[in-house]
Amino acid sequence: MTGVSISIFVQYGILWMMATFNIRSGPISTYIFGTGIFPDFNADWFKVVGWIVIENMAILSVMPVVDFFAGFLVRLVKRMRD
């Protein structure tokens, strides 16, 4: 469970921030990271990144229930075929 938490934190916390943040005018200007479209954390940044994070978290909150019912249906179908 710790590995999953670390993976989600890196994927949604760090990578989205680095992908959309623009730091070309700052002291650490690289051509790999920091070439995004938002020069600062403003309302537009939160609209774009926040929506993606909320959408992914909603999907992740529903998937355990879907997994449970999918496993239940597979066992039920196997039992009915037997």
pLDDT tens-digit map of 16-59: 666 666 666 655 555 565 566 766 677 887 787 777 777 777 88
Query: Which domain, by its residues, includes 18?
Result: 2-81
Q: What is d(CA 40, CA 20) in angstroms, rounded to the nearest whole number?
A: 10
Domain count, the chain: 1
- The distance in angstroms from the start CA to the end CA of the chain is 36
How far apart CA 2 and CA 10 sit, in angstroms, is 12
| Contact by Cβ (8 Å): 40, 76 | no
Does pLDDT of 64 surpass 80?
yes
pLDDT (0 to 100) of residue 76 = 96
Cα–Cα nearest to 52, from 20, 4, 7, 6 = 20
User: Residue 29 carries which side chain, given as an amino acid letter?
Assistant: S
